[in-house]
Structure 1
């Protein structure tokens, strides 16, 4: 198994594109989206705007910026000079994959917007480890990746779904590793950017079968047990052993869906000394024994 936590989580999410479109906005305007928790990403091609996600303070975006919200429940994008409170606008189609918002006249914003979904049954858990919003500035590769996603979304080429999944994986990883996020929001991305905590995170992902303790993980970071526990909880958003348990269960589900390994072997792979102790932990976490989960979720 790889020891790259960010890549593993993005691949486990199993992203697939819902749609991608080019949006032009003119005058004073506001767009409000409620996309039921789906990931939304946006590349600003020309002009500028304000974006508000989940009630956080507005962020100003300019040409060349990219924003990713892995689980958007309420997103507002509006002109730099916003319209009066409560006035939202709808987009109008003006061509294939092209939409316009606001009055007639030259646009003050052009942006490529995409919405995708995560097929993983553990999407809620995995997304909770990611930042609420990520902003990347001056990264032209992200705009290029978005154009490729948009082009692939609109065409019916062979292996379209496979290509889209790979493109989205690269897009999400690139955004998460080069973007910034509100420093006060705990997440896996913050943990991976922490010079000390990253050693413990990589160790857990490289050897999930090992019987890790908080003291052992603290030694990986050259910190005391108490200092490591406090820092991990503050930066990542949950205690280290809770993170390890959640990660082991996500791996176990993936192995069970594959249908290639016996439950005893899966138990060993995710750090349990016997099939019975693994089955008890899995049933407590998932709500059903691993054997039944494997039968109901097996992907041929």
Structure 2
């Protein structure tokens, strides 16, 4: 059975950028604005607050995992609300390689593993748009075990370290996304797959991307009326059904042109276009350059 979530994460090509352990005490506030860098955090002990621009603030506790696939500016702060005039905190690195925020002498109220990963795919922006903007998972021991493996591998200097980190991050992302409660996840593929009716349509679409799908045929896969399917899909996934189909076809087309050394006509057929010219027009509109030029530059 085709797993749309695994397909998207595999195409993203996640890799390790950096991670660090941070301890906080007293009142503190850290503001970050690294646009486009996927951000994740796990609370190892204690608690804190996370406010991602455009999302409701979260109160995090031990065992919580947070993932922001396309990082919005965010603020991480102590559970005790810092004063409005408190300057943003700059983490201080300690001799053991960890970091400290807030009161440097007080006992820590929270310990976090925070980090950024990177997506190697040139289609990352397109693929990330299919995922929730924010994922918050609570009480999942499997995630804690994966995070511990990630920490151990980050600190070690073993052979094939980068390859292992990439695979661990791939599994971590899939596990975090599939563990996310459907109601807690913002619109995207995760929420769509949590709906048994929409999941049938999404799996059909991913299994046969070249099929001449219409809203009616996708609605039939979901056993819903056309209007009910369109409204339910758009609300859950965040885009209309045919817009999602277009995004997925373009991601597949770019991979085929880049990695499989196929001609434009063959790629057009693989992703559901009746002619190379029709495909070229659609590809150019979405990617910004004709497929033949894209293939040469890849």
TM-score by length of 1: 0.93
Higher mean C-alpha deviation, range 243-252 or range 67-76: 67-76
**Contact kept in structure 1, 2:137 and 2:179, CA below 8 Å:** yes
Residue 43 of structure 1: aligned partner: 42
| Corresponding residue for residue 91 of structure 2 | 91
User: C-alpha separation between the residues in 2 aligned to 1:109 and 1:191?
Assistant: 34
Quote the Cα distance in structure 1 between the aligned partners of 2:77 and 2:183. 20
Do the aligned residues in 1 keep the contact of 2:182 with 2:194 (CA within 8 Å)?
A: no
What is the aligned partner in structure 2 of residue 199 from structure 1? 200
What is the number of residues matched between the two proteins? 296
**Cα 1:156/1:292, change in 2 over 3 Å:** farther
The range that moved more, 205-214 or 120-129, is 120-129
CA distance in 1, matches of 2:142, 2:90: 29
Aligned counterparts, 1:145-184, within 5 A = 145-180=146-181
1:126 aligns with 2:130: no
User: Which range moves more in the overlay, 22-31 or 246-255?
Assistant: 22-31
- 5+ residue gaps, structure 2: none
CA distance in 1, matches of 2:44, 2:184: 26
Name the CA distance, whole Å, in 2 between partners of 1:242 and 1:86.
45
Structure 2 equivalent of residue 65 of structure 1 = 64
Shift of 1:239: 1.0
1:11-50 alpha-carbon deviations (Å, 9 max, x no partner): 1111111111111111121111222221111111111111
Deviations 1:124-165 (A, max 9, x none): 221122112111111122223223223333444332222221
Give deviations 1:217-267, integer Å, cap 9, x for gaps: 000011111111111111111111111011001000001111432322211
Contact 1:43 1:142 survives alignment (8 Å): no
Provide the rounded CA distance (Å) in 2 between the counterparts of 1:273 and 1:217: 19
Structure 1: 4+ residue segments shifted above 4 A = 181-184
Task: Calculate the aligned-residue CA RMSD, in Å.
Answer: 1.7
